[in-house]
Amino acid sequence: MKDIKILAIESSCDETAAAVIENGRKVLSNVIYSQIDLHTLYGGVVPEIASRKHIEKINPVIEQALTDAGVGLKDVDAVAVTYGPGLVGPLLVGVSAAKAVAYAAGLPLIGVHHIEGHVSANFLEHPDLEPPFLCLIVSGGHTHLVIMKDYGEYEILGRTHDDAAGEAYDKVARAIGLGYPGGPKIDKVAKEGNPKAIAFPRAKVDDCPYDFSFSGLKSAVLNYLNQAEMKGEEINRNDVAASFQAAVVDVLVEKTMHAAKEYGFKKVALAGGVASNSALRAGMKEACEKRGLTMIYPSPIYCTDNAAMIGAAAYYEYIKGNFSGLDLNAIPNLRLGERK
Ligand code: KG4
Ligand code: ZN
């Protein structure tokens, strides 16, 4: 069969990204323009600023992806784009650019769910990986425990009732003065702290063994900080970071292991920005090794938002002939497994 090359575009939050992917697995190019420095000034992503920056960067990033891959549009078989979930303005920039390229070059268009992209990032470096497998998706906007039953087919076992794991990292980081984005910063300072110094709560969600809740943990950290301030006590930032992180990791690992046992999975994958977290990787690895499970996770560059993962997910839609019309729209609250 002929090799299928997909030009993929991702702009759902604060990364403007394009990539060329061959047969859903081989990365020919992966260009990411990160706006993080811009948003750091404001302590979080400002949607209006993100949209404007995407408009400025989208065409150069697409051109760079084609150049790096050594291909022209004539060599490409389809154009894929994230169309949800995410911020509506940023999503619209990518969707409009993808539609324009697809129309101008006479190529089919494939709308991709952002979370499917994160899960599919695992295919890029694991050529033998095939569904079904269990996947814990932990990003700035989402915390989902899912079964990837087949390509494009998911069963959601659990999700967060409030904050996403990455969101909790970002909020706690802000409270202890680390700034945005908090995840990598907490990861770093936690290495110097004692994870047992403070007993933060491990939240359970009644009757939902696979659901998550992180807002109670976040409040517990804020209370701890307030009380220390009222008593005039100095806080140890590294201990707070390490103890908070231990509470997050414990819950993520425990629920994932519970699901692996209950559903009989031998393969457990991680996905999303927080999948880069060193404590989560270590905790999950240890738990998997104890139970004889295989743990799979993408390199950090494919954990954070990128377009290579979108090209990986799009390939299986291409094979099935699931193309989108030129009326494809951005859907900020698109649900996993839903196709429009
Ligand atoms: O997947 P992603 O790039 O964007 C979304 O789709 O949300 O995830 C971004 C999130 C941010 O909350 C960031 O703080 C977190 O991932 N993150 C981390 C680490 N690297 C990024 N959290 C914990 N430890 C890390 N090393
Ligand atoms: Zn993401």
CB under 8 Å, gap of 24 or more: what pairs does 148-152 form? Answer: 148/119, 148/269, 151/316, 151/319, 151/320, 152/116, 152/313, 152/316, 152/317, 152/320, 152/322, 152/339
Mutate to test the pocket of ligand 1, among 13, 185, 274 (most ligand atoms within 8 A of CB): 274
How many Å lie between the centroid of ligand 2 and the Cα of residue 138? 9
The pTM score is 0.96
Task: Round to whole Å and give the CA distance between 181 and 171.
Answer: 9
The structural domains of the chain, ordered by start, are 5-121+302-320 (3.30.420.40), 131-297 (3.30.420.40)
Which of 82, 11, 164 has the alpha carbon at shortest distance from 336?
Answer: 82
Closest ligand 1 atom to residue 276 Cα is 26
DSSP string of 80-123, one letter each residue: EEEEESS-HHHHHHHHHHHHHHHHHHT--EEEEEHHHHHHHGGG
Task: Report which protein residue has its CA nearest ligand 1's atom 2.
Answer: 273
199 C-alpha to ligand 1 centroid (Å)? 24
Closest CA to 256 of 286, 219, 301, 278: 286
pLDDT at 84: 96
- The residue whose C-alpha atom lies closest to atom 10 belonging to ligand 1 is 140
- CA 15 to ligand 1 center in whole angstroms: 12
Structure confidence at residue 339 (pLDDT): 66
Residues 294-324 pLDDT 10s: 999 999 999 999 999 999 999 999 999 999 9
Instruction: Classify residue 295 by burial, with Cβ atoms within 10 Å: 0-12, 13-18, 19+.
Output: middle
Atom of ligand 1 lying closest to residue 278 CA:
26
How far away, in angstroms, is 273 Cα from ligand 1 center? 3
Phi, psi of 329 (to 5 degrees): -120, 160
Contact 166 CB / ligand 1 (< 6 Å): yes
| Sign of the C-alpha dihedral computed for residues 68, 36, 245 and 144 taken in this order | negative
CB 317 within 8 A of CB 310: no
Listed as ranges, residues in the chain with pLDDT below 70 are 339-340
